[in-house]
Structure formats: structure tokens, C-alpha cells
Structure 1
Amino acid sequence: MNNIVSRSGRLFKMGAAGLLLLAVAACATPFKADVSRFQSQMPAPQGQTFAVVADDPALSGGLEFSQYARLVEAQMTKLGYQQASPQNATMLVRFDYGVDNGRERIRSTGFGRDPFFSPWYGYRGWGGYRPYGAWNYGWYDPWFDNSVESYTVYSSDIELKIDRAVDGARLFEGRAEAVSSSNRLQYIVPNLVEAMFTDFPGNSGETVRITIKPEDQRAKGGN
């Protein structure tokens, strides 16, 4: 009997530990973005300059836009292009971003019935059924509750368009979009910009999924 109880106790502890690990993993879900890119022929960086401008006039001149525009400027500079004023740049990089108001989703948080428990006979353990009395009224285990919970998800995206300044010819179009539990633009936009410039400019007409580290790790300065 002691052996049965000991093994059952270990099983419960292992199950509880597994559930906690699942909960931690859910909190650290990586950021995934779907990136679609199209290009005609991006010029080589040598001798090329750029300026990031708002594709939506309502964002132009705003402090928030300026903050996110600097992320794009850093990526373009990393590629070898030189920053210039909109009047002097050989390329205009039109940038836009946004997040919706979110929508509710429902998921089950229960784990089904305990395989070692019968509502007719009670706990079976490792040695077969041990009757507790018919129906076992009042028996409840929160680990095996078939409950549901609702949560909110948000759709976000950025758009990037690169035009040749001299004649307005379109050189590049890109869109990065994601669905996540966060609506914080301070978190979302940097991730989407990073996704956009991963393996830039990419294969024209191809949509790829880019995975980036989760929000809690970035907040702690993780690389």
C-alpha cells in the first residue's frame, strides 16, 4: 500500500510540474510574423541614399512615427545605404504601421478526467478500484476541471514601400503582419521591422514566417 501511495504521489508531482512548465512555455511564446515582399530591382548600396517618410500623412511629423522610423533607418544603414533628407535622397522609404482593437478567443483550460478516477467507484490507484460510495458527491480536483477562458488577440502589421525618388518608380513593397496577445506598439513595431529586414530583400513574391524572441525576454535584455 505504501508503495502504491508513493508511486501515485510521484505521478501527481510529475504531472503538476509538467503543467507548470507548459504554463511557463505559453508565457514565453516567440513572436511570429508573416512577411511578404516584392521587388523589381533594389539598387546596390554604393552611392544610394534614402529617407524614411510616413506613408500615411496623418503620421508625418509625429514623435511616435519618428521613433519607429529610426528603427527602419538603422536597418537601411546596416545594409549600406546612406541616410539623407527627403529632398536629396535617391530613394524614399514609405513606412506605415498599426494594430487593431483586438478580438476575443476562447480556449479550454481543463485537462479532462483523471484517468485514475471513476465517478462510479472512486479512485482506482494502481491496485484496481476502491469503492468510495456511489457517485462520490463532493469530489473535485481543480487540475482536471473542464473549464474555458477567454483572451484577446491583436492583429498588427507594418508596410514598407521603397520608391526611386527621381521618377517615383516602385523598387520594393513589403508587409509584415502578426497576431499576438500584445497590442503594445513599442513591442510590436520593433519586432515587425526586424522581421521585415531579415534576409532583406528576400525572394520576390514569397511569404515567409519569421520567429523573434518573446516580449518578456526582450524586456529583460535577452539576446
Structure 2
Amino acid sequence: MQMLPSLRALVTIALSAALAGCVTVNSTTTVFHNITKPETFSIRPTAPISESLEAKSYADLIAQKLIENGWSKSDKAATDVQFAYSIDNGHQEIDSVPVFGQTGGGTTYSSGTVYGGGGFGTYSGTSYTPPTFGIVGASTYSYSVYTRKLMVWIDEKSTKKRIYEATVVSRGSSSSFNVVARCMIDALFKDFPGKSGQTTKISADGNKCVVNETKS
């Protein structure tokens, strides 16, 4: 006979499914710019991360995205691209998942006494109906949520005027910026340079990165 999953197992399965959704990177990107055409550029992280090897790897990713959009990296660049990033210490949030269990059916035992004109008698017996299953309650769990931020600025070197600034903010379960960096950079360069003053919300994951987009 096939064993039915235990209540604890069902709770574990439901909880694991809920936590699996936390790998999604939900980003909000806000852009302001007056870029009219692709330019030559140099790129550098801001202090105090300017010497960080991690930051330099992000510089390469950002540079590649600019090149894909028609820009050219140059030692005599017309523009200066700077960027910074951060991640907070996180905070706890509480959520719940349904608990599945048996809601009816199974084996029922009954007994009693029957009285009549000729006296009385006792009876006992068991009956069986197929069990039914459904939601019998809820289980709560807590998890950490971290806020990650990426900021990029582009200035004209000759005039020192800013021609582009963008901020990407994402929230999720990862306490490492590196885990979500590529997806946040992909979100930043979705339809680059974008419409000035527009906020774009993008859902991303580690495989496809940009998978959904809404604008406001």
C-alpha cells in the first residue's frame, strides 16, 4: 500500500516552495538623462570601492553593456562613467504557507446500546470512507530581506555636466551583492538609455535575468 505523505512532510514541501520564490530579483530602475547619441567613455568605481577587485568586475559588465549599445571605450573618452553599489544589513519579514492534512474520511469506529420492548442489546463496528485532504491551517516562517542599490552616473569630461544618472534598487533574500549584480546591471540597461524620468520595474532571475517589465 502506498504511504500518504506525513503532515510534517507536506508542511516542509509547501515551505520550500514558498522560499524558492525568493531567488527572484525584483528591481526598480529610475533614469534621468539627456543623452542624444552614443559616446566614447572611460569607467571607474567611486571611492571607497575604487580599488576593489569586485567593483572592477562590475565595471567590466557595465562597460560591456555600453559597448552593446554603440558606445566605445577609449583612453581619450568624451564621457566619464562612474558607479557605486551598496547592500544593507537586512531585516526580518514574516510570511505564512498553508498546511495540508486530512480533512475527512478514513476508518470510523462506533458502538452503543439499543433498547427495545424485549430488552436491550449492544453493537459495535467499523466503517471506512476514502480520506480527503485539504488545507487545515497555516504555518508561519521568518526570512531575511536585503536591499541592494546600484547607481551609475555619466558626465561630459569637457563641460563637467552630467548627462545620465540611474539608480537600480532591488530587494531579496541574498545577502551578497555579487549574486544579483548581473541581473541588476541587465535591468539598468534594459532599453538604454530609456525615457528620462521613467521608472521601470523588472522581475529577474539568475538564469534569464530580465523576464518581465512594467513602466510608470
TM-score, length basis structure 2: 0.71
Alpha-carbon distance between aligned partners in 2 of 1:21 and 1:91, rounded to the nearest angstrom? 51
User: Which range moved further: 28-37 or 150-159?
Assistant: 28-37
Alpha-carbon distance between aligned partners in 2 of 1:30 and 1:71, rounded to the nearest angstrom? 20
Q: Which residue of 1 aligns with 2:30?
A: 36
Instruction: Please show how residues 127-138 of structure 1 align to structure 2 within 5 Å.
Output: none
Percent of aligned positions with the same letter in both sequences?
A: 25
Is the CA contact 2:32–2:164 (under 8 Å) kept in the aligned structure 1?
yes
Alpha-carbon distance between aligned partners in 2 of 1:149 and 1:22, rounded to the nearest angstrom? 8
- Is it true that 1:95 corresponds to 2:83 in the alignment? yes
Distance 1:125 1:196, change over 3 A: same
Out of 67, 73, 82, the residue aligned to residue 63 of structure 2 is 73
1:125 maps to a residue whose letter is G
Structure 2: unaligned runs, 5 residues or longer: 111-132, 209-216
2:74 maps to a residue whose letter is A
Is the CA contact 1:50–1:93 (under 8 Å) kept in the aligned structure 2?
yes
Equivalent pairs counted in the alignment come to: 181
Alpha-carbon distance between aligned partners in 2 of 1:21 and 1:149, rounded to the nearest angstrom? 11
Q: Which residue of 2 aligns with 1:106?
A: 94
- Is it true that 1:183 corresponds to 2:203 in the alignment? no
Alpha-carbon distance between aligned partners in 1 of 2:180 and 2:190, rounded to the nearest angstrom? 16
Is the CA contact 1:191–1:212 (under 8 Å) kept in the aligned structure 2?
yes
- Is it true that 1:161 corresponds to 2:153 in the alignment? yes
Q: Which residue of 2 aligns with 1:125?
A: 105
2:105 counterpart SS class = coil
Alpha-carbon distance between aligned partners in 1 of 2:139 and 2:194, rounded to the nearest angstrom? 44
Is the CA contact 2:40–2:73 (under 8 Å) kept in the aligned structure 1?
yes
The CA deviation at 1:179 is 0.4
Q: Which residue of 2 aligns with 1:138?
A: none
**CA RMSD in angstroms, aligned pairs only:** 3.3
Greater share of strand? 2
Greater share of helix? 1
- Is it true that 1:27 corresponds to 2:17 in the alignment? no
1:33 maps to a residue whose letter is S
Q: Which residue of 2 aligns with 1:84?
A: 74
Alpha-carbon distance between aligned partners in 1 of 2:88 and 2:60, rounded to the nearest angstrom? 23
TM-score, length basis structure 1: 0.69
Is the CA contact 1:71–1:193 (under 8 Å) kept in the aligned structure 2?
yes
Which one has a bigger Cα radius of gyration? Answer: 2
Alpha-carbon distance between aligned partners in 1 of 2:44 and 2:160, rounded to the nearest angstrom? 14
Q: Which residue of 2 aligns with 1:54?
A: 45
Alpha-carbon distance between aligned partners in 1 of 2:37 and 2:186, rounded to the nearest angstrom? 20
Alpha-carbon distance between aligned partners in 2 of 1:161 and 1:70, rounded to the nearest angstrom? 15
